[in-house]
Amino acid sequence: MNQSVAAVAVRADTVLMAQRKAGGAIGGRWEFPGGKVKGDETHQQALKREIREELGVDCAPGVRLAQTSFCNGPHEYLLYAYQVQLHGDRFNLREHVEARWVPWSEAASLSLADSDRALLVLLLPRFSAAI
């Protein structure tokens, strides 16, 4: 089965969310940065590559926080969320129009991609002390 990874970067009581550029199935929607695992990459390698490609910074992947699944057309994916430490906060956005630190209490009000909304439901109880 195909696999994707999502980066959960936490700072105080906020989480980093990114808004996709217009176009495509999730254009304009908000998401946890990340993407598809390619070839024989580990989840950690895919996270590092995706964060570098999407945000222009390096990261240190940490513990796996949650797992869900989603469909993209005819393809089914397992989506794994990992807590990450970002190395830098000056983003060079390539696939997004905006990235911002969102209070956990407001994250559910964003227009999230369905897969990221499913992850958020799993993550909120873990970070409920931050709300």
pLDDT digits (tens, 9 = 90+) for 92-110: 999 999 999 999 999 999 9
- Per-residue pLDDT at 131: 46
Q: Which residues contact 78 (CB under 8 A, 6 or more apart)?
A: 1, 2, 3, 4, 67, 68, 69
Mean pLDDT of 12-38: 92
Which of the residue ranges 19-28, 70-79, 111-120 has the most confident prediction, judged by mean pLDDT?
111-120
- Tell me the three state secondary structure of residue 111: coil
- Tell me the three state secondary structure of residue 33: coil
- Contact in structure between 31 and 20 (CB atoms under 8 Å): yes
- Per-residue pLDDT at 61: 98
Mean pLDDT of 67-96: 91
Each residue's pLDDT tens digit, 11-21: 999 999 999 99
pTM value is 0.92
Residue 48 has pLDDT above 90, yes or no: yes
Which domain does 63 fall in, by range?
Answer: 2-130
Structure tokens at 54: 């999407």
What's the CATH number where 59 sits?
3.90.79.10
Mean pLDDT of 12-31: 91
Q: Based on the structure, what is the number of domains in the chain?
A: 1
129 band by pLDDT with thresholds 50, 70 and 90: low
- Per-residue pLDDT at 42: 98
